[in-house]
Structure 1
């Protein structure tokens, strides 16, 4: 008999429930700031100040600045509060409060050649310039041209006659390229990118200086990868919106939109740090938006809390220089170029005991977040579209000891989602907790790495990497502890569609000591080993157990004591609930149930006669990963999809949910070739990802995406994509609902096109997927933990924002606590909205699933409220789904 699981709850954060000003009250004086104000006013709500800076000039410990709706083009440098009386800067709650790091550029004049120009002073370091046209990122002039998404880059390919500081390319336009920045992604194994400066040019040829010319694995020349592009020169201006800044003349050139510059707004970055807390401690920043700028604390900062920040276009740069020797923690050598820009990009949480939470961070050439120092916390954040310049700048960079990085969703990163750089951190990495993070769509501009990457020679004593999910990434592994690192304990992690391995401890002809992986689950899209210690000269004290995976679990048998590898289940069919959709918890009858061994500190919540193998204990609530903010849930559930190729070849590999299987067209790419996908049922989505694998051959040169509801009538294309990368995204304006999707090539290429996997994403969770209760975007009167809620009482509810629905049946997993006459009501769009279904709840007992038909089929996007009804305690909730 299996024992009943009791969840340990934590208080819900109802993000949408209350205005910010209600939470800003504290002892001390409160000042108001509004665009209608005056900096000589009293600062009351009736007579507010005009600038936030004027408020910060007045505040003392315990005081508050409440900021009313508006845009504030200023840099905030708050004074310190004290531990018991912080200084607070908070949005009032009457609308968005934006700290804008840009200023308007005016005085545009015709500059000839189809260009306009304005005389303006941009920041002293032109490497960090950023320009925006009509509130959208404008691309620096570049050849070859690329699309608007910097993570869908278009590259030129040098000829094989190129050498380490020379490029031959017969496709290179004849222009003056001298002085341009050349961006290189080249070599036999290009695990990082680099930049140099063009020193001379002639037709079809470039000489350049800089970059990392260590050959191999990183260099230009007759290598497997010979990719590059050019920026930073007037010669590259040929597309509307492209810009070039002549730093000597202090002149900004722009290719105007079609129809001219009149009526358009151009802004340029002037403030790198819109909120500069480098010399501040005990400050709370809540509810602010940042645009074209970022926030930082400093090495001496303490007790800073950043809550509900919404930061967009935080960092932009065009070069990847070697880090200064003063930034390095170990002796410099040229391989340290990988750490370029880690310390001067992203939202930066430095110092001791500081917190970043409940925030959305997006659009950065470098880091999403840098956490550095001791004892900082980064939790419940949504971090995406960062690191596109291709160095080791990740979603979250962790340097130092004692940090807590939990419950973050990180997706669409140039390289890793979570990373540490030993060049900057040093060899210690003690007592860090990295847990309950969802990391996906990583490695968009690199090939040798993983969503979670640790390197190198680090001592991870006391560090726990646990309860994370890694998936749908273009690297080699899900979790990668690289090059001589030891004493890392991994457990209860999950990975699928991560390439060769689930986790890899790489000794790389050196030691890999005392590394552990326990109770982890690995699924489809892993084709070499599930968990491995490889290449180690000494793997003493390592231990791999209770792992489920489709491929072997292995360890180099060196050391004293020898590594332990036991109690693992190697099976293509281990009894997962739904492997293709990443639901790697156990179904009834799985051979992993009660088949594990006891591991001290790991198998602490055993149900039944013995621990289970894998990451989820059968019969317990299903723990979840990632944040609970809007946008954190976007994957569209994979059903019985089928694909048809226009050339008649078998295209099933494109929709089998496995990134390691591949479809290849029958002939070289040509406009009009197509793939048509039948989703089996209507799905709502706003983005399609076409994964062409890690081999650059066969990536499409351009395509469109069209949809149909019946497979016969097709409208105009909803999205057009150019550029070639491992994964290319087609973004659909708004959202569309359709059963059939067609991908049609628009350009020719020298080789047949290839597709490894097609994925769909939507704005809001797919209700056909498992909606886990502890990830509800709001709730009332309910407690929850890392798995499931506490018991809901009558009138309590949890809600999921903008869930995409197409179904007739509701299934709920619950733990009843009601003697009689209780239920869960599924209501649409409000706690008192229309009732779509009623689930009876009776008795008390173990976790159970109950299914009921909906009163009518529901389609479209709705806010879902599951409301408890009864006379007292009703039930705890684990998850729900709505399916046909």
Structure 2
């Protein structure tokens, strides 16, 4: 079928230009490189021209030779694509055409639904995946496999049942267990004194208020039921659990899929089921470029021999699904197993997988995985400027990014909302060497959602990290115990210029674990609020030779112990009770203010100390007077936390609950009585803020989280409307999600009774886009024209150059803009224009640029806006005047 000829898009034009560049021609002179087009209206018997496109990407892959390009028009492609290899000088390219979203979908439609009795419908279907790896989507949204107790759709807000203390390693007592036959169901367990991994078993028998199971509990104690702090579990994978719309169960033996239909029946509803694990399978491919494609219900992988693969602008959602945690085979491990392999369950068979050598994933978004977000394995691979979120909800050691091997570069990524770690390195998978890796400028937050013994950045165990650098990272707002955790005798880790706050008991922990901890170093790091006992700790080492901690700034002491010859070096650190004069500790802005005692108080550390201003290096992660570096990616979604500008919280009985909003996750407000419906907390944000998510964090408390609550809003603090969100169940950190709105007052009200008092460690708010009240770092601009972003500022903007930020939230108004910039020799007439919604949009103000005395001399310059800016806008700074107007470090807005 012919399709109309469309005007070529900017992306397609760019692709065509790349094809024509020198050096991209095939080494085979007889093949110059051809462009095929693919469209859902096409035919695989067609030529692949613009007028006669192909129908499938897979067929284009069959035709493609080195130097060829497959341009894919908008639409959904339910297929698996297995590209051939290109060559180093002539890669094969698969790219979105640029006329809309291109989705490679791993699911197929399920039809033929019939009444199955008992309020269920069923369809006969042969699902090819292992039953524990099935996934179902109702009207495009992931729907929950039948489970007890019922849970909300967000898998990182699971509802847990709590076993009685009389339970044992293979037996659960629970009077709340409903009647029914759960034999064969999976029991998911999060239990023990301080559980570091979750486990699954199989129900063998059920009786009234009790069940027996097999499997799980490989280490019992401490990872088992009984008289333990954590005794959480749920059941999944039994027909008897089906009791709410959208829940499903698959009987593989009978080939029958059961579903609780939506209210009103199946008419008008679409169901799809996962069928393909790898929508883009490059496991046998090299020198392939994948650009601008979406994945849904499937994933992408390269192979152990892949090289020269570039994946850019990938948007992957629901990449991995599973409901069991089997222990991997010994053959998958680099080292003989020491813990029954339980900690490495599903790490190697989930996530987007970048294996092999010299491959790159960049400028991408990876979201929603039961297991790993991104697996990096082999050598010399790169992951940069990528947003990873909502992964690892099964609670094993599957992190946002798993790094195995040597020579990798993992930089400028944002990893948020993970079941356990954000970035993880496993000894069983990696082997002892972990050489020459660079892990830098990453923002890691909201980790440890379904674990407690761990950290956002976690290393285990016995690793040799020679020539590896962990630098310029930020870890924060996590419910584990540590920010940077170098566990169980790992050595030669160099940490420097890192930031940690709200990470639990410690900022960084070098754990000797009754063995050695050699050559571990931490320099020029800054530790903020929410660290209770030690900013840096070394303990349990029989030999700590080479340990060196210097130039750190902290609000809590250091605890460095362990013999060595020479002994560990600890010096030139700024510690309590001295106030470091952080810019804004409540919001994690730990750079120094004027007059800080950390300025010029450090010592030079070879290979670490750089960019010194003044008489000597500064202590801490930021050099006063230099541009302030930032961590994380620059894509939409990478900046979302709402600035805490002195919020207030009060209880329903009028008591102060400031500990819930003080920016310190280790302080706690706890109610005086057990939970009862109608109890509430009221938040006053001071000024109206744009918000779309509220996170209610109970910290390490195993009992204080609510059994159910609503969120409502108000403009005056007295009259609250109908709830904008309802949250049920018992999860330790609970999220209420609602349409983005601008409000000043919030009320969190309990809807269910509980046996224990309500406890809140911290309430955090989020929304789409950065908050105008926070600091907008120029290097995180989502738009640039004519200027390059560095790690801490832009280059010099000339006339017509610009930078922009997407969806900046101004709330009810900003009146003053302050820009930190450097300028020299531009003269009169140089300025920075603030424009709204486009580089040519409404002019909000013009800031005349004053000469700062040098292109590397930074100064804040402010201007009153012509009119107060409200709501949410894309904002742009546009340079006017000479060819060297100014370099920009950051900008802020205030009333």
TM range (shorter): over 0.9
Q: Distance in 1 between matches of 2:885 and 2:219?
A: 66
**Which residue of structure 2 lines up, in the alignment, with residue 706 of structure 1?**
712
* Mapped pair 1:868 → 2:875: no
Q: Work out the CA distance in 2 between the residues paired with 1:840 and 1:394.
A: 47
Quick check: 1:19 aligned with 2:11?
Answer: yes
Partner of 1:107: 112
CA distance in 2, matches of 1:643, 1:586: 29
Determine if contact 2:218/2:340 at 8 Å carries over to the other structure.
no
Contact 1:696 1:725 in 2 (8 A): no
| Cα displacement (A) at 1:542 | 0.4
Structure-2 separation of matches of 1:488 and 1:113: 59
Residue in structure 2 matched with residue 358 of structure 1 by the alignment: 363
Residues 21, 66 of structure 1: 8 Å contact kept: no
| Structure 2 counterparts to residues 111-510 of structure 1, below 5 A | 111-510=116-515
Residue range with higher mean Cα deviation, 812-821 or 796-805: 812-821
Equivalent of 1:815, from 819, 822, 826? 822
Match of 1:590 in 2: 596
Q: Give the gaps of 5 or more residues in structure 2.
A: 1-8, 20-24, 26-32
Give the distance between the partners of 1:791 and 1:41, measured in 2 at CA.
Answer: 50
Checking the alignment, whether the CA contact within 8 Å between 1:829 and 1:865 is kept in structure 2 is: yes
Equivalent residues of 1:821, 1:842 under 8 A apart:
no
Matches within 5 A, 1:51-130: 51-130=56-135
* Counterpart for residue 581 of structure 2: 575
Alignment pair present for 1:746 and 2:744: no
Aligned equivalents of 2:446 and 2:191: distance in 1? 22
Cα offsets for 1:387-411 (capped at 9, x unmatched): 0000000000001111000000000
Cα distance in 2 between the residues matched to 1:333 and 1:470? 29
1:84-133 CA distance string (max 9 Å, x none): 10000000000000000000000000000000000001124111100000
Residue-pair matches, total? 867
- 1-side partners of 2:521 and 2:759: how far apart? 37
Partner of 1:7: none
Matched position secondary structure for 2:454: coil
The answer to whether the 8 Å contact 1:624/1:786 transfers is yes
1:616 aligned residue (622, 629, 649): 622
| CA apart distance, 1:604 | 2.1
CA distance in 2, matches of 1:596, 1:725: 44
| Structure-1 residue corresponding to 2:670 | 664
User: Conserved in 1, the CA contact under 8 Å of 2:229 and 2:702?
Assistant: no
Query: How far is 1:844 from its partner?
Result: 4.0
CA RMSD of superposed structures (Å) = 1.0
Q: For residue 334 of structure 1, report the CA deviation from its aligned partner.
A: 3.9
Q: Which structure 2 residues correspond to residues 593-604 of structure 1 after superposition, within 5 A?
A: 593-604=599-610
State the alpha-carbon separation in 1 of the partners of residues 772 and 495 from structure 2. Answer: 31
The separation in 2 between residues aligned to 1:213 and 1:748, in whole angstroms, is 35
- Does 2:518 align with 1:513? yes
Aligned to 1:686, which of 663, 684, 692?
Answer: 692
Retained in 2: the 8 A contact 1:647–1:665? Answer: no
Asked whether 1:855 is paired with 2:860, we answer: no
Match of 1:777 in 2: 782
Note if 1:877 corresponds to 2:885. no
Q: Distance in 1 between matches of 2:378 and 2:459?
A: 17
In the TM superposition, what whole-angstrom CA distance separates every residue of 1:406-459 from its partner, at most 9, and x where no partner exists?
000000000000001111111111111100000000000000000000000101
Give yes or no for contact 2:12–2:71 (8 Å, CA) kept in 1. no
Which residue number in structure 2 is paired with residue 14 of structure 1? none
How many Å apart are 1:23 and its aligned residue? 3.0
Q: Which moved more, 1:46-55 or 1:312-321?
A: 46-55
Q: Report the CA distance between 1:20 and its aligned residue.
A: 4.7
Render the CA deviation track for 1:334-388: whole Å, top value 9, x for unaligned: 4420100000000000000000000000000000000000000000000000000
Structure 2 contact 407–438 (Cα < 8 Å) conserved:
yes
d(CA) in 1 for partners of 2:754, 2:149: 16
With over 3 angstroms needed to count, the CA separation of the structure-2 counterparts of 1:527 and 1:520, relative to structure 1, is: same
User: Of the two structures, which has the highest relative contact order with CA contacts closer than 8 Å and spacing of 6 or more?
Assistant: 1
Q: Give, in angstroms, the shift of residue 223 of structure 1.
A: 1.7
- Cα distance, 1:213 vs. partner? 3.7
CA distance in structure 2 between the aligned counterparts of 1:269 and 1:698, rounded to whole angstroms = 37
Residues in 1 aligned to 2:140 and 2:169: alpha-carbon distance in whole angstroms: 40
* Pairing partner for 2:773 from 768, 771, 776: 768
CA contact (8 A) 1:624 1:774 kept: yes
The CA deviation at 1:653 is: 0.4
Cα drift, residue 332 of structure 1: 2.3
TM-score, length-normalised on structure 2? Answer: 0.96
**Secondary structure at 2:660 match in 1:** helix
How far apart, CA to CA, are the structure 2 residues paired with 1:738 and 1:335?
51
Higher mean C-alpha displacement, 597-606 vs 442-451: 597-606
Q: Distance in 1 between matches of 2:512 and 2:723?
A: 49
What is the alpha-carbon distance in structure 1 between the residues aligned to residue 217 and residue 363 of structure 2?
Answer: 38
In the other structure, the counterpart of 1:727 is 733
- C-alpha contact 2:822 2:851 (8 A) present in aligned 1: no
Instruction: Name 1:12's counterpart in structure 2.
Output: none
Alignment equivalent of 1:827, drawn from 835, 860, 880? 835
Task: Find the aligned partners of 1:646 and 1:124 in 2 and give their Cα distance.
Answer: 51
Equivalence for 2:28: none
| 1:820–1:843 CA contact under 8 A, matched in 2 | no
Deviation at 1:18, TM superposition (A): 4.5
Kept in 1, the 8 Å contact 2:363–2:635? The answer is yes
Structure 2 distance, partners of 1:217, 1:695, is 18
Which residue is equivalent to 1:8?
Answer: none
What is the rounded CA distance, in whole Å, between the counterparts of 1:874 and 1:647 in structure 2?
57
Q: Determine the C-alpha separation between the residues in 2 that align with 1:18 and 1:44.
A: 19
Query: For the residues of structure 2 that align with 1:844 and 1:449, how far apart are their CA atoms?
Result: 46
Query: SS at the partner of 2:132?
Result: helix
Listed one character per residue, the Cα deviations across residues 687-736 of structure 1 (whole Å, up to 9, x for unaligned) are 01111111111111111111111212221111111122221110012x11
Q: Does 1:37 align with 2:42?
A: yes
Counterpart for residue 795 of structure 1: 800
Partner residue, 2:680 = 674
Is the CA contact (8 Å cut-off) linking 1:245 and 1:253 kept in structure 2?
Answer: yes
| CA deviation profile, 1:751-799 (whole Å, cap 9, x unmatched) | 1100111111010110111000111001100122101001100111000
C-alpha contact 1:290 1:309 (8 A) present in aligned 2: yes
Q: What is the alpha-carbon distance in structure 1 between the residues aligned to residue 880 and residue 730 of structure 2? A: 53
Retained in 2: the 8 A contact 1:164–1:213?
Answer: no
TM-score, normalised to structure 1's length? Answer: 0.97
Corresponding residue for residue 837 of structure 1: 845
Which moves more between the two structures, 372-381 or 837-846? Answer: 837-846
Deviations 1:233-259 (A, max 9, x none): 000000100000001001100000111
CA contact (8 A) 2:852 2:858 kept: no
- Report if the CA contact (8 A) 1:649-1:666 is conserved: no
Instruction: Call closer, same or farther: CA 1:334–1:872 in 2, change over 3 Å.
Output: closer
Q: CA deviation at 1:628?
A: 0.5
